[in-house]
Amino acid sequence: MSFGKNIRTWFDGSWHEGDIPVMRAADHGIWQGSSVFDGARMFDGLIPDLDAHCARANRSAAALMITPTIDPGDMVEMAREGLRKYAPDAAVYVRPMYWAIHGSDLGVAPMEGVTGFALCLEEVPMPAPEAATTLTTTSFRRPVLADNVCNAKAGCLYPNNARMLVEANRKGFGNALVQDAMGNVAETATANVFMVKDGVVMTPIANGTFLSGLTRARHIKNLRDNGVEVREAVLTLDDFRAADEVFLSGNFSKVTPVTAFDDVRYDHGAITKRIREMYWDWAASCPL
């Protein structure tokens, strides 16, 4: 099932209209889970951090022992070519993907140098600035690098995220605030997380249990460049319960205000609104 509409896919050397088939039944990526992806966003004729997302796709592939086959610079130009076919005001999700085709060692390890690649463009609206979510706890936790590929944006990690999200939804909340193996807050089921306390912005320190996002890094830089104190720290659920503001950070929405964590309520506060304004002001320097 497609994520958006008006889909275009680059595969096997050319662009195709629609959600075309790109994998075969015996591809390693189908039955052994060796697939990675990344996601950038075009909106308002802007395409922020496209180069960084393409470069991370290659790093993710290498982390899964999949041989990356497209230079990040070529990937950027490929994406720009496809995006020019959309209306100037279209909001488009940009998803480069790799998967292993053959396996070695009884089929378990991916074979080097034989890699599938596709780049999918899907028109998906940007959420409204006031579109908020709510959080609750989850019984599921983030893995560590010793038992999963936490250093990649890997498809095989997402069933665990899905369990978190479904559990939260069944409790009547929009997302889950997720702990790492040590019981400290890592992220949410779908995005990195920040909190504000007494004017200081804080986010869980990147300890290898979650993917430290590109948009997360952009917010930290924008805030510090504008004189706002940002701390990467070990944070607990109780720290978030005591927060003044909470917001999510991810490529899809950029900034999502949080209005509740279980029975604790937050305002869509001034700092969260300012962070969104900072991001849009910076993104204006990244035209298609």
* pLDDT value for 206: 96
Mean pLDDT over 176-183 rounds to 97
Distances (CA, A) of 165 to 172, 175, 176: 11, 6, 6
Residue 128 domain flag:
no
| Domain shared by 139 and 278, yes or no | yes
When pLDDT is averaged across residues 159-176 and rounded to a whole number, the result is: 98
- Domain count along the chain: 2
Contacts by 17-22, CB closer than 8 A, 24 or more apart: 19/120, 22/116, 22/118
pLDDT at position 1 over 70: no
| Domain with 83 in it | 5-123
Q: Do both 72 and 204 map to the same domain?
A: no
What is residue 55's predicted lDDT score, i.e. its pLDDT?
98
Give tens-digit pLDDT for 201-212. Answer: 999 999 999 999
Question: How high is the pLDDT of residue 4?
Answer: 87
Q: Can you give the CATH number for the domain in which 262 is found?
A: 3.20.10.10
Do 139 and 118 share a structural domain?
no
Please tell me whether residues 48 and 85 are part of one structural domain.
yes
Please state the φ and ψ torsions of residue 95, each to the nearest 5 degrees: -130, 95
Tens digit of pLDDT for each residue in 8-34?
Answer: 999 999 999 999 999 999 999 999 999
**How far, in Å, CA of 237 to CA of 242, rounded?**
9
Q: Do 61 and 198 fall within a single domain? A: no
d(CA 258, CA 264): 11
Q: Are 99 and 31 in contact (CB under 8 A)?
A: no
The pLDDT of residue 56 is 98
User: Are residues 98 and 50 part of one domain?
Assistant: yes
**Residue 161 located in a structural domain:** yes
pLDDT tens-place string over residues 39-89: 999 999 999 999 999 999 999 999 999 999 999 999 999 999 999 999 999
Residues 194, 146 share a domain: yes
- % of the chain surpassing 90 pLDDT: 97
Residue 148 and residue 32: Cα distance in Å, rounded?
A: 14
Q: What is the pLDDT of residues 83-118, one digit of tens each?
A: 999 999 999 999 999 999 999 878 899 999 999 999
Check residue 224 and give its pLDDT.
98
Looking at residue 3, its pLDDT comes to 78
Residues contacting 201, CB < 8 A, separation 6+: 194, 195, 223, 228, 229, 230, 231, 271, 275
Residue 134 confidence (pLDDT) above 90: yes
Question: Which residues lie closer than 8 Å to 64 by C-beta, 6 or more apart?
Answer: 34, 35, 36, 100, 110, 149, 152, 154
Question: Which range, of 104-113, 124-133, 185-194, averages the lowest pLDDT?
Answer: 104-113
State the average pLDDT over residues 107-136: 96
**Last residue of a domain, which of 64, 88, 123?**
123
Query: Within this chain, do residues 187 and 53 fall inside the same structural domain, yes or no?
Result: no
Q: Is residue 288 part of a domain?
A: no
CA nearest 180: which of 153, 151, 206, 209? 209
**Considering only CA atoms, which of 213, 216, 207 is closest in space to residue 247?**
216
Give me the mean pLDDT over the 135-162 stretch: 97
Pair type for strands 40-42 and 14-17: unpaired
Q: What is the pLDDT of residue 105?
A: 77
- Give the pLDDT confidence score for residue 204 in this predicted structure: 98
Note whether 141 and 100 are same-domain residues.
no
Whether residues 56 and 144 fall in one domain: no
Whole-number mean pLDDT of the chain? 97
- Which of 123, 147, 162 represents a domain boundary (last residue)? 123
